[in-house]
Structures are given as C-alpha cells and as structure tokens.
Amino acid sequence: MKTRSNYWQLLPYIRPQWHNIAKGFIGILGYVLATLALLTLVKQLTTAFGTGNVTAIATEIGILAGVFLARGFFQSVQDIYMAKAALRVAFNLRKQVYSHLQKLNLSYFETAKAGDLSYRLTEDIDRVGEVVHKLFHDFIPCALQLVAIPIYMIYLNWRLTLATVIVAPLMGVLIAWFGERLQKFSRKSQNRVSDLSAILTEVFSGIRIVQAFAAEDYEIARFSREAERTLRAKYSAERLKAIQIPIIGFLQAVSFLLLLLISAWLIAQKQLTVGEFFSYLAAAASLIDPVSHTTNNYNEFKQGEASVDRVFELLAIQPAVTEKTDAIALPPVTGKVEYRHVSFAYKPGEPVLKNISLLAMPGEAIALVGASGAGKTTFVNLLPRFYDPQNGQILIDGVDVRDVTLNSLRRQIGIVPQETIMFSGTIAQNIAFGQHQFDMADVEKAAIIANAHQFISQLPDSYDTWVGERGVNLSGGQRQRIAIARAVLLNPRILILDEATSALDSESEALVQEALERLMSGRTVFIIAHRLSTVRRCDRILVLEKGQIVESGTHEELLALSRRYARFYAQQFS
C-alpha cells in the first residue's frame, strides 16, 4: 500500500516536541549570531594588526575567545535539545507502529514477513529518527547560516558576492538531481535488507529442519544470493554519492578561486580593504561547512524518505476486524455459543465454511473432526473474532460477538494450541501472560491443575526459571502443560483445544490429557483433534467436510451410522 512520499506525515509526531525544539532553536540563533560576530571581529583584528597596536590586538583576541566560548555554549544547547526531540519522535513513532501492528488481524500476519516487520520497526524507524535529528541539529542551523552569512557578505561587498554565487544555481540543480536518484536506490537497498532479515528470521527459527535435511549448503547459497542483491543495491547508492562529492567539490573550488581573483582586482582598484578581504574570506570559508552539510543532509533526507514511506505503509494498513464505536464490554458469560447460518471465505468465491449452524450449551464439550482443509480451525477462529464471517452471526449468551469489545470477548475464551508459543521471560510470566501484575499463589494453583508444578519445582530457579527464545529449553509436553496453566489462570468460560496433544509422546500425552480434563470441567469446550481417542467422551462430535457439518452426534451414535466418522475411526483403530 502506497502512502504520500514526504515528511509531512511526521508532523503529528514532531509537534508535541515543540518545547524541546524551541529551546534548541534558541541555541541555533545564538550560534548563528556568534558566528556573525566572529566574522566582524576578524575584520577588526586584521585592522588592529595593520596598526601594530598590541593592546588593541590583545583586546580583540580576548573578545574573540569569549565569542568562541559563547558559540560553543549555544551549540551545546542546540545539540542537547534537538537530540532529545529527535529521539522522542522516533520513540513515539516506534510505539505507535508497534501498537498498530498489534491491532491487525491474523490474515495480515499470515502473509507478512517477520524479518521485514522487524527491520521496519528497528532500522527504518532509527533512520527516520536520524533524519529528524539531522533536520534540527544540522539542516536548520546550516540553512540559517546560508541566509545570514551571504547577507553579511553582501554588506561587505555586493560585487564580490554576486561573482562568487554565480555557480550556486548549478550546484542546487545537481544536488536535487543526485538526491532523487539516491532516494530510488535507497528504497531498493532497504527492501533488499529487509528481505535478507526475513531469510535470517525464517532460517534461525527453523534451524532444526535445516540441519535435519542437511540443507546447510542450500541455505548458504540462498543467503549468498540475497546478500549479493543487497550488496549491489547498496553499491549503486554509494557509487552515486562518490560521483556527486567531487563534482560539488569542484564547483566549490571554482567559486573560491573566482573569489580570490576578483578580490585581488578590487583591492588593486581600492574598492576593497585588506581587512574587509580577510573578513570576507572568513565568511566564504565559513560557508563551506554549511554547504557541505546541507548537501549531505539532502542526500540523507532523500534516503530517509524511503524509510518514512516503509514505516507509514504499515500505519496505512487497516485491520479487517474492528470494534464498533458503540461496542459494549461482554459481561461474564455462562458459555452458551450459537452459530447462525455462518459462511466464511478467505478469498472471494472460495468458501471455507458454508451455512454453518450450531448451538452449544454451557458446559458442553464439542469435538470437530474431519480431513485437513475441512474448515475445523477456521470454525473456532471465528469465535474470538480472529476473522469475521461474510454471512451469518456468532452469539455468546445471545450477544453478537461483533457488538462487544475484542478485549472483553477474548478474555473469556481460552485457547490451548497444538504448538505452544513461549515468550522470553520467566515460567511464571509465561503462565500469567498478558497480566501486568499477578499473584504467585494463583500461578502455582494453575500449574498444579495443569500437571506442571512438579517439573517446574525441579528446575534450578523454579517459577523464576528463564525461558529461552520459543521455549527451546523445555520439552513439548512441558510447554503444553504451561499453555494449559496459562488457560487455567485466565479462567475462561469457553475453551478451544486445537490439536492440543497431537505432537506428544504417550507419557506426555497422558499427563496433558489429565490436565485438559481438569481444565474442561464446567466449561464450554471446542476440541479439534485428529486422534479420535481424545474425543470419544465429548458430548457431541461434529464431522466437517468441505466447510459443512455432515454428521453430528455422540461417539456411539456416529459409529452406529457407519458413515464418515465410522470410517475415520476404523482407519485409526484397525
């Protein structure tokens, strides 16, 4: 999705920093005025040297030292407050983008690259912060100097000034031409780097599979190809800058040589004094740094514009599932769930669920079985509004889930997935995930119910044991029991078990199954399972095929029908 390609989008983030910017701007004004004072003092010092008056020379040198000290003070004020403003802009933008991403739906994250998102939240926003810092710290002071110093130069000798700035328009055109091309190369380079970051995230998270398939050489070759593309994109930008620098430098040198030539002629014609010449020369020399900084800043602004675009592309993405403006908080529910003629499709014309109707009473355990792609996971994903159906309604205790706030809805639905996701932190923090404050006694009770307390107690730091990235220092059964403890602590009235025991060995499965039975007690439960042994005691079993409920009943009733469920059962237990 394309957004406007300019920095105006940053204004809402820059505006709240006006107090820091104002303080920094006072420092900028002081710095520029001190610079003009130095140029005037150079003229007076040169005149004093001409008279040979040591007292006058010493006085001028003392005043020069004081002005240098004052300029340094103002520069410090400028640096401190402009840096504070830029860092705060980057912080607020990063927090806003991260908060916005949290509101996007599963459908977005199913296609987005994790590495690309990480790059935009880190490198791209850092670059935006650097550009804002350059704007306030470098560009504005340099721009003021480029206005104030030429005015002073005109005051000294307008003829000399007119001659020396004759090449300025050509320099401006060249800087703009190079800047536009740098923006294009920078965008391409940043896209390449984000692709490279996505590959790294993908490979490191799946390193076990890479090594299991002896695919190290394959991945090295894939990484090398992407790194080569990144190198070429970066090299194109650097080569352009390398061409730009000597061209601009040559034009600056021509301007300076022209200054010397015309100055010599004016001095010979008695239209310029030696003191005025040295003051003018100091002014011209003091323009070199602002011109160089402005050129570099312009290049960085054009490169940073690509980062601004990439960041605001994320903010422009709208969530597919949103709350109504008058959404109410869902009160504590009994667990009555109703699907009324629900149909859903990820892509138009390709329905995944077709006219599903179901009434689940409080405390009822309902199993969903069927072949892969039958719509089981989609069925349960509609309940917490990970997606919204195109047709029909889903109600909890008679309230349409689209009429309530997402937080109040999801806080009453517990999910135990097939693959438990662990987050960096302690085991206690993982059990109490999503809670800023929690009672350790409640965490331990939840772990006991989930058959997790025994193995946690045997760990070196018990509940304070640090869980590594994705919980790789725990077994599958241990992670699954922590997930159950997480659901127990949430204490939901509705529970979704998505293949919760399918990836476990028999010993772990027995412990997890026992924990699940405790968790399920008194709750409305939806169970997705391929192992039919785990669903035999459910109150109702639904057989899904091509997005429709084709059979419904208890285990014994469905076996007696001798249809699809009976065939599934026979295949597993023959």
What's the CATH code of the domain at 476?
Answer: 3.40.50.300
Whether the pLDDT of residue 279 is over 60: the answer is: yes
User: Would you say residue 558 lies in a domain?
Assistant: yes
Number of domains in the chain: 3
Least confident of 94-103, 315-324, 508-517: 508-517
User: Would you say residue 226 lies in a domain?
Assistant: no
Among 273, 289, 316, where does a domain finish? 316
* Distance between CA atoms of residues 79 and 75, nearest Å: 6
Among 316, 348, 374, where does a domain finish? 316
User: Would you say residue 215 lies in a domain?
Assistant: no
User: Would you say residue 2 lies in a domain?
Assistant: no
Whether the pLDDT of residue 67 is over 80: the answer is: yes
Domain that holds residue 339: 324-412+498-574
Whether the pLDDT of residue 341 is over 90: the answer is: yes
Percent over 90 (pLDDT), the chain: 5
Whether the pLDDT of residue 567 is over 70: the answer is: yes
* Distance between CA atoms of residues 523 and 518, nearest Å: 10
Q: How large is the average pLDDT for residues 131-144?
A: 79
Q: How large is the average pLDDT for residues 188-199?
A: 71
What sign results for the dihedral spanned by CA atoms 308, 313, 316, 319?
negative
Q: Quickly state the pLDDT bin for 50 (edges 50, 70, 90).
A: low
Same domain, 185 and 149: yes
Same domain, 36 and 175: yes
Q: Quickly state the pLDDT bin for 2 (edges 50, 70, 90).
A: very low
**DSSP sequence for 334-350:** ---EEEEEEEEEEETTE
Q: What is the DSSP letter of 502?
A: T
Same domain, 435 and 559: no
Residue 5: per-residue pLDDT: 45
Same domain, 251 and 341: no
Residue 503: per-residue pLDDT: 53
Same domain, 281 and 403: no
Same domain, 352 and 275: no
Whether the pLDDT of residue 297 is over 60: the answer is: yes
Q: How large is the average pLDDT for residues 287-308?
A: 72
Same domain, 259 and 117: yes
Between 521 and 401, the more confident residue is: 401
User: Would you say residue 141 lies in a domain?
Assistant: yes
One-letter identity of residue 96? Q
Same domain, 163 and 294: yes
Residue 343: per-residue pLDDT: 92
Residue 57: per-residue pLDDT: 75
Q: What is the DSSP letter of 330?
A: P
Whether the pLDDT of residue 458 is over 90: the answer is: no
Same domain, 280 and 396: no
Helices (H), 120-214: 125-134, 140-156, 158-164, 168-205, 207-212
Q: Which helix (H) or strand (E) holds 20?
A: helix 18-51
Instruction: List, in order, residues 6 or more apart from 476 with CB less than 8 Å away.
Output: 420, 503, 504, 508
Q: Are 34 and 67 in contact (CB under 8 A)?
A: yes
Whether the pLDDT of residue 292 is over 70: the answer is: no
- Structure token pair of residue 243: 């061409």
User: Would you say residue 251 lies in a domain?
Assistant: yes
Same domain, 292 and 355: no
Q: Quickly state the pLDDT bin for 95 (edges 50, 70, 90).
A: confident
User: Would you say residue 249 lies in a domain?
Assistant: yes
Least confident of 264-268, 441-445, 476-480: 264-268
Same domain, 377 and 399: yes
User: Would you say residue 242 lies in a domain?
Assistant: yes
One-letter identity of residue 283? A
Beta bridge partners of 495: 414, 525
Instruction: List, in order, residues 6 or more apart from 89 with CB less than 8 Å away.
Output: 10, 13, 14, 17, 128, 129, 132
One-letter identity of residue 523? R
Among 316, 345, 379, where does a domain finish? 316
Beta carbons within 10 angstroms of residue 510's beta carbon: 14
Same domain, 130 and 262: yes
Q: Are 157 and 284 in contact (CB under 8 A)?
A: no
pTM to 2 decimal places: 0.70
* Distance between CA atoms of residues 410 and 80, nearest Å: 45
Task: Residue 59: give its domain's CATH number.
Answer: 1.20.1560.10
* Distance between CA atoms of residues 446 and 248, nearest Å: 69
- Structure token pair of residue 517: 């039975």
Whether the pLDDT of residue 395 is over 90: the answer is: yes
Least confident of 281-285, 363-367, 456-460: 281-285
* Distance between CA atoms of residues 383 and 409, nearest Å: 9
